[in-house]
Structure 1
């Protein structure tokens, strides 16, 4: 999968590297902003009864 992505990105290798790093950063921030907060409400560690 990664070689397919690398193959279809335009430009020399440094531009490809910067593009891949930007895509990874975007995925990271989307996960932190939307996915993980939504998921944490469904985790069982929030049901504490002491």
Structure 2
């Protein structure tokens, strides 16, 4: 999958690296902004089933 993505990116190696860094930053931003808070609302962390 990563090789196919690498081949699909345009430009020389340094442009591809820059595009990959931007893509990774966008994915992390989306995860931290929308996905992780949505999952936290679904999974209740207050109901712990492990007891001492």
TM bracket, shorter-chain basis = 0.7 to 0.9
Which has the larger share of helix?
A: 1
**Cα shift at 1:47:** 4.0
Gaps of 5+ in 1: none
Number of residue pairs matched by the alignment: 48
Gaps of 5+ in 2: none
TM-score, with length taken from structure 2: 0.83
Instruction: Note if 1:15 corresponds to 2:15.
Output: yes
**Cα shift at 1:45:** 1.0
Which segments of structure 1 move beyond 3 Å, counting only runs of 4 or more? none
TM-score, with length taken from structure 1: 0.86
How large is the RMSD of aligned CA atoms in angstroms? 1.3
